[in-house]
Amino acid sequence: MNTVAQTFKETARRMTRDLRHRSWIQSALGKYYVGRDEKKARFQNWQEARQAAAEIKWDAVNHLDKHLEEFVSKIEARGTKVFWASTGQQACDYIVNVAKKHRVRSIVKSKAMTGEEIHLAQALEKSGVEVVETDLGEYIVQLREEAPYHIVFPAMHLTRHEISDLFNKKLGSAPTDSPEELTMIARRTLRKKYCAADMGISGANFAVAETGMISLTTNEGNGRLSTSLPRIHVALIGIEKVLPTLDDLALFLPMLATAGAAQAVSCYNTFIAGPRQEGEPDGPNEFHVVLLDNGRTRLLADAEQRDTLHCIRCGACLNVCPIYKNIGGHTYGTTYMGPIGSVLTPHLRGLAEWKHLSFASSLCGACSEACPVKIDLHHHLLQNRRNAIRCKSPWWEKLIFKGFVILMNYPLLYRLGVKFGWLGQKFHGLVKGTRLDPMIAWTQSREAPPLALKTFKDYWRGRKS
Amino acid sequence: MSEREQILGRIREALRVAAPKPGLLSGPGQRVPAHEKRPTDFRPWLPAVGDSFDERAALFAKNSAELKTDFQLVANRNELQEKLLALAHAEGWKKIATHAGELTNYAFAVLGLAVVQTGGRYNLDELESSDAGITECDALVAQTGSVVVTTRSAGGRALSVLPPHHVVLARRDQLLRDLPAAFTALKQRYGSGYPSMMCLITGPSRTGDIERILVLGAHGPKKLTIFCM
């Protein structure tokens, strides 16, 4: 077993037994479930809306070349500089160079999962620029030098006391247990950063081909400020973010907010169509759009799992996943966690090293049910399992299945096995719980039920006569 | 070959194999059959909105109450003046920021306070230290309780988000039914040349990042007041 998988297993084992973790994750998500169901009920037909959203995304992703070219030609016509990046490294290099060229000293960043994916902040910091995350949750985990815990709620795992201690230590603020005061401390600190920053970095939730705009969703207003005040704005966007028309947003914005944050729509949905235009009083002089591939075309080539690119990063599948709720967001060790992360990561970082994520699933299908764009997540996990076995299955598993095939092909052998299985189980007690126990995965936390002395077949025959 | 050509080439190569359309598989949540053509009218599925002005206004008021937006219908300019002065007095405004416009000009004339105009280039610190930002808008959306602003209708990008209190002055006929109507209105007005920023503002700035407890005024305005005349 490789080390990534080993770390995953060990952390997962620890986290599932952590009762404190379990209790707060339940309470945080409990509020979400109530709100989400209430907002869903306001739709006249949520299931039809999901189907429509899935079909629009299908259209967008399956004609990606056409939509991307339209988006780029429209947004370039308004003075935007577009850079195409095949790899994360190319995207980082480009943005670092833009920062160098304009002598940028400080950057305000609004939350972008693409940025996490390519470790953009680290690359910029290495080149000597200050990068400040402005989303409150993201700012908190940045101060803790930690990865986000959730793709929508990065600091979900921290209590107000932990955050108060952190602010006290890093910002020198007086301790408080009021979330409101803590938010105001961050507001005051970050205000200064916005006003002084030379560059703002954002992601995008959607890129509208028809009008050449990016759509950026935030609740805090940090997306607005990061893209209004600094003189340069860079948006880092995955190539799959394209939507064909502006009208499509009328469907996607409320669905994103409902599924992602139990809101009717998020507080600020901002559509940016270029740098400051003639006659406008403010806004950046330069606007750069970086289109990121970084493994996405590889996923596109897999027709079976292409719908994974429909993902709008709402986080709904994390919130309902029994695995996520038990092991928490950090255990995955990936940029994208939860069911969508388990499907995506093997494609972005290699199946051999990340196949264990496909097995960390109960296949209950809650994720597929929750997905607002109907990604068939739990089937994709199964397909990843199949692909992992295809590329390399362990010898002992091959041996077991060979034995199984023989057993199943000869009724006499099978009957013997069923009849005397209980006898074999008697000897199990000798090795139970030790390294020699073939059932260790089961017996370390549970009792194996005893095999019945009388088989079902015998019982049925006896009952009839 | 440029990076652009390479990426587009990989996309075209990948798309040579067709992917199954959604809604064809059976499984959880697959209760709706696929549509014949890609849908373009979402109204039958989105939250319902009544047809008359009164129904729209009532829904906007209900959504506003939920979002903690202060939404007030005002009959005429006199009532607007009264309410603005009362608000300025109650909050002790000393300096406001605004832009040129029919309603905003009126507001700043009746308020008679120090003013930062964001029509042309302005001083950022002055804007930041204003007590309120007063703007007009493109539309109000009953379905979601949102205000639609653009760089053109609301005095640039920062005015509607930097001061701690955002006051919107709207006209009755700007109160639209739903999001599809709002996008249609934007297209009709700006179809030939969009402003560089358009925004759908829904309530005052908020966060739930600390223990999922709602706090208003995370980075943007702590208060949002809408006067609809």
Nearest CA in chain B to A160: B210
The span from the CA of A214 to the CA of A207, in Å, is 4
**Contacts B27 to A, Cβ<8 Å:** 365, 368, 376, 378-379
CB spacing of A271 vs B7 below 8 angstroms: no
Count of H-run helices and E-run strands, chain B: 6, 12
Residue B95 main-chain phi, psi, to 5 deg: -140, 135
CATH architecture of A43-294: 3-Layer(aba) Sandwich (3.40)
Range of the domain at B224: 69-228
Give the span between the Cα atoms of A388 and A189, in whole angstroms.
48
d(CA B98, CA B115): 7
* ipTM, two decimals: 0.96
CB contact under 8 A, A374 and B215: no
Digits of tens for pLDDT over chain A (465 positions)? Answer: 578 999 999 999 999 999 988 888 888 899 899 999 999 999 999 999 999 999 999 999 999 999 999 999 999 999 999 999 999 999 999 999 999 999 999 999 999 999 999 999 999 999 999 999 999 999 999 999 999 999 888 998 899 999 999 999 999 999 999 999 999 999 999 999 999 999 999 999 999 999 999 999 999 999 999 999 999 999 999 999 999 999 999 999 999 999 999 999 999 999 999 999 999 999 999 999 999 999 999 999 999 999 999 999 999 999 999 999 999 999 999 999 999 999 999 998 888 899 999 999 999 999 999 999 999 999 999 999 999 888 776 787 788 889 889 989 999 998 888 878 778 788 887 887 777 777 777 777 777 788 888 888 888 888 866
Say which of B19, B22, B187 has its CB closest to residue A374. Answer: B22
- Which of chain A's residues have a Cβ under 8 Å away from the Cβ of B154? none
Answer yes or no: are the C-beta atoms of A119 and A96 closer than 8 Å: no
Scanning A125-154 for CB atoms below 8 A from B yields 134-137, 140, 153-154
Contact of A275 with A284, CB cutoff 8 Å: yes
Number of neighbouring beta carbons within 10 Å of residue A401: 12
The DSSP bridge pattern shows strands B223-228 and B165-170 to be parallel
pTM recorded for the entire structure: 0.90
* Strands A130-133 and A199-202, bridge-based pairing: unpaired
With respect to residue B204, please indicate whether it lies within any of the assigned structural domains: yes
Q: Sign of the CA dihedral A233, A239, A245, A246?
A: negative
Chain A residue with CA closest to B203: the answer is A267
Question: What distance in Å separates the CA atoms of residue A23 and residue A21, rounded to the nearest whole number?
Answer: 6
Cα separation, B40 vs A56, whole angstroms: 9
What CATH number does the domain containing B73 carry?
3.40.50.10420
Task: List the single residue in A158, A239, A368 with the smallest CB-CB distance to B27.
Answer: A368
Beta pairing partners, A242: A207
CB–CB of B202 and A155 under 8 A? no
- Beta-carbon separation of B7 and A251 below 8 A: no
* A87 at interface of B, judged by CB pairs closer than 8 A: no
Phi and psi angles of residue A208, each rounded to the nearest 5 degrees, phi first = -90, 115
Interchain pair B197, A283: CB under 8 A: yes
Q: Say how many domains are in chain B.
A: 1
Residue ranges per domain, chain A? 43-294, 399-464
Say whether A228 and B201 touch across the interface (CB within 8 A).
no
What is the interface size between A and B, counted as CB pairs within 8 Å? 317
> Which residue, A290, A274, A251, is CA-closest to A92?
A290
CB contact under 8 A, B199 and A307: no
More confident residue, B192 or A371: A371
